[in-house]
Structure 1
Amino acid sequence: MTRVLLAVLIVATVASAIGVIYARHRHRLLFVELSRLERDRDELNIEFGRLQLEQATVAESNRIDQIARTRLGMKFPEAADVVVVRP
Structure 2
Amino acid sequence: MKPKRGLMLAGLWLGVIASALAVVHTTHRSRTLTAALVDAQKERDELRFEQERLLLEKGAWSAYGRIEQVARKKLNMHMPDSDERVLVPEQ
Above 0.5 in TM-score? yes
- Matched residue SS, 1:84: coil
Displacement of 1:59 in angstroms is 1.0
Aligned residue among 40, 43, 49 for 2:43: 40
TM-score normalised to the size of structure 1?
A: 0.96
Cα deviations by residue, 1:43-86 (Å, 9 ceiling, x for unpaired):
00000000100111111111100000011110010011112232
What is residue 65 of structure 2 aligned with on the other side?
Answer: 62
Q: Distance in 2 between matches of 1:49 and 1:83?
A: 43
Q: Which runs of 4+ in 1 moved over 6 A?
A: none
Which consecutive residues of structure 2, in runs of 5 or more, have no partner in the other structure? none
Report the equivalent of 1:30.
33
Q: Flag structure 1 segments of 5+ consecutive residues without an equivalent.
A: none
* Percent identity (aligned): 36
Q: In the alignment, which residue of structure 1 is the partner of 2:75? A: 72
Q: Distance in 1 between matches of 2:24 and 2:85?
A: 82
Question: What is the RMSD computed on CA atoms of the aligned residues?
Answer: 0.9
- Give distance in 2, aligned partners of 1:79 and 1:27: 75
Q: How many residues get paired?
A: 87
For normalisation by structure 2, the TM-score amounts to 0.92
